[in-house]
Amino acid sequence: MLPDANPSGPALVATVRVGTYPDGAAYDPAKGEVYVTNYYSNNVSVIAEATDTLVTAVPVGSQPFGVAYDAGSGELFVENYESDSVSVINDTTNTVVATVPVGAFPSNAAYDEARGVVFVPNYNSNNVSVINDRTNTVVASVPVGSFPSWAVYDAATGRVFVANAGSDNVSVLLDTTGKTVATIRVGLSPVGIAYDRGKGELFVVNGNSGNVSVINDTTDALAATVAIGAGPSEAVYDPSRGEVFVTNTASDNVSVINDTTNTVVATIAFPPGSHPSGPSPLAAAYDAATGEVFVTDPFWNSTSIISDGSVSSFMLTFATSPTICGSITFDGIAYVDGQSVRVLAGAYPVSATACSGYTLEELVGSGPVAVSAGEAMVREVGGISARFALVASNPALGFWGVFGNGGYYVPGGIVAAAVAATAVVLLGRRKRGGPSVPASTTGRGTSLPPLAPK
């Protein structure tokens, strides 16, 4: 469902069903996919950003909690809360290639691209496991505050910020030594952090305070406190608009904070309508290619997609006639009747392939989509249609085509049977001593008249 295909501001545009109790999300820009951890399904759902559809589900450890994307290795690191381990998923094969034992109750990890390591907070061990992404082994264990729940890497300062839910503070680790260089007091029960590289600030979500602490990453000082909804859980930074999206689990909505004014500029109901019970928006991941925020909803076992309004994307629907025949290849991917894809405005290569016994008759765009010379120009929501026609004859059978059912078909079996029956009759007559067939004056003999089309 698409309430608004191209909103000017943040708006809910789609919902994808995933596993049971989705509680973590990460965007993989190399594959154009979003990975969602399903706590009670013990797997990870993979969503294609182009179609907003489920690609596959990858089995992992027990009660997967968070997930971090590692651009250096092209892998996803999934924290298995109950298994005290991290499952490493290869994003090409979508299979688990390693399982790394860590501390008790690992939560939301951070990838450090400068060092090629992953920092995993262990909620019940009060420390952080450091995993080398080449060897998939733990190379260090760093003590932090009480109940560490979230880690984020700050590329500008080369430090890792860890939210300690039990200590009401944030530990700042130097990524070269792993040592704690600062401790910053924030609100009650910090459970999430988003790094805003545009402003050089950290947005810390305080679960029991109903607000967000804004930290300057140069001075490690508190720059602002922003009131949001009830029971906030996680935050994600949107560089396109300079905004931070915060999930408010107890309020059934998402707060959008402008990072220049540090004020809430929008509140998005999530999803439309109220929940009778249970949690609502929980985890979030930002997709820079489409300008969308993927937010998990444990109550509905789904992931909702919020467009930030920064990218002009449109839904394109494909149709074929007959509906069961052929496909349309758009931008290198084949689609059949009824399928759709979300695309940005622009020109794309397009072609159509007929099924056996058919030929392409027409390939056209509908609405504002224009198709010409193998190219589709997309400017707004529209579609592409292909019409196929049955071939007029089949040379391999050597018979004439006969018109019927809206096209031509070759009644090879009927014609063959008729010819065979005629031959039997003639042979029978010759055996009974009937008159022989006179020779033609041309010396080729008398031929049977051609069968007239029915």
3-state secondary structure 334-369: EECCCCEEEEECEEEEEEEECCCCEEEEEEEEECCC
Q: Are residues 188 and 294 in the same domain?
A: yes
Q: Are residues 416 and 360 in the same domain?
A: no
**What are the distances in angstroms from CA 385 to CA 159, 258, 278, 281, 343?**
53, 42, 43, 38, 17
Q: Are residues 71 and 175 in the same domain?
A: yes
The conformation of residue 440, written as its DSSP 8-state character, comes to: P
Residue 378 lies in a domain: yes
Residue 415 lies in a domain: yes
Q: Are residues 164 and 262 in the same domain?
A: yes
What is the extent of the structural domain holding 353? 313-390
The predicted pLDDT at position 425 comes to: 46
Tokens 């060897």 correspond to: 135
Q: Are residues 231 and 358 in the same domain?
A: no
Q: Are residues 96 and 223 in the same domain?
A: yes
Tens of pLDDT, residue by residue, the chain (454 residues): 333 444 456 788 788 999 999 999 999 999 999 999 999 999 999 999 878 889 999 999 999 999 999 999 999 999 999 999 999 999 999 999 999 999 999 999 999 999 999 999 999 999 999 999 999 999 999 999 999 999 999 999 999 999 999 999 999 999 999 899 999 999 999 999 999 999 999 999 999 999 999 999 999 999 999 999 999 999 999 998 999 999 999 888 999 999 999 999 999 986 554 455 556 799 999 998 888 999 999 988 999 888 887 776 778 899 999 988 899 999 988 999 999 887 877 889 999 999 999 999 999 998 889 999 999 998 888 899 999 999 875 444 444 444 333 333 444 444 444 544 444 444 444 444 433 333 333 333 333 333 333 3
Q: Are residues 382 and 426 in the same domain?
A: no
Q: Are residues 194 and 243 in the same domain?
A: yes
Residue 353 lies in a domain: yes
- Give the residue from 244, 279, 307 where a domain finishes: 307
The conformation of residue 425, written as its DSSP 8-state character, comes to: H
Strand partners, 343: 314
Sheet holding 284-287, edge to edge: 11-17, 302-307, 292-297, 284-287
Sheet holding 33-38, edge to edge: 22-28, 33-38, 43-48, 53-59
Residue 3 lies in a domain: no
Q: Are residues 416 and 300 in the same domain?
A: no
Peptide bond into 322 cis (omega under 30): yes
Residue 298 lies in a domain: yes
Residue 142 lies in a domain: yes
Q: Which of 9, 17, 10 is CA-nearest to residue 302?
A: 17
Q: Which of 294, 291, 290, 313 is CA-nearest to residue 305?
A: 294
Of the CA atoms within 13 Å of residue 99, those in its CB half-sphere come to 11
The predicted pLDDT at position 203 comes to: 98
Report yes or no on whether pTM surpasses 0.85.
Answer: no
Number of domains in the chain: 3
Which CATH number is 274's domain given?
Answer: 2.130.10.10
Q: Are residues 346 and 432 in the same domain?
A: no
Q: Which of 33, 34, 110 is CA-nearest to residue 68?
A: 110
Q: Which of 240, 253, 318 is CA-nearest to residue 282?
A: 253
Instruction: Extract the tokens encoding 430.
Output: 């010759």
Q: Are residues 217 and 298 in the same domain?
A: yes
Per DSSP, the residues of 442-454 read: TSS-PPPPPPPP-
The predicted pLDDT at position 300 comes to: 86
Instruction: Extract the tokens encoding 374.
Output: 């193998």
- Give the residue from 307, 340, 366 where a domain finishes: 307
Tokens 């007091």 correspond to: 185
- Give the residue from 336, 358, 390 where a domain finishes: 390
Q: Which of 189, 259, 262, 195 is CA-nearest to residue 230?
A: 189
Q: Are residues 44 and 73 in the same domain?
A: yes
Residue 29 lies in a domain: yes
Type of residue found at 227? A
Residue 402 lies in a domain: no
